[in-house]
Amino acid sequence: MDAFTTGILQRIENTESGLIRAREDGDLFTMDVEQAELDDLRRLAAEHGVEIGSHAA
């Protein structure tokens, strides 16, 4: 796995964790921010052929 793939997958995992924490805390602003970041990361991964598998967030 190359550095880009490793990095994007780690960022997706971190962002998913942040989204879960925000949901648990009821923090709507952070939920919006994390979801937007997650959407961008998933788009970027798809554009570069990085498979991210199935994630719950």
- pTM, rounded to two decimals: 0.87
Whether 42 contacts 19, CB under 8 Å = no
22, two tokens: 């925000």
| Average pLDDT estimate for 1-21 | 96
* pLDDT single digits (tens) 18-40: 999 999 999 999 999 999 999 99
Q: Determine the pLDDT at residue 21.
A: 98
Tokens of 28: 């709507």
How large a percentage of the chain has pLDDT more than 70?
Answer: 93
Asked if residue 56 has pLDDT above 80, the reply is no
Q: 26: left (phi > 0), else alpha (psi -120 to 50), else beta?
A: left
Does residue 45 surpass a pLDDT of 60?
yes
Please state at what angle helix 28-47 crosses helix 3-25, rounded to 10 degrees.
160
Q: How far is CA 45 from the centre of its chain?
A: 10
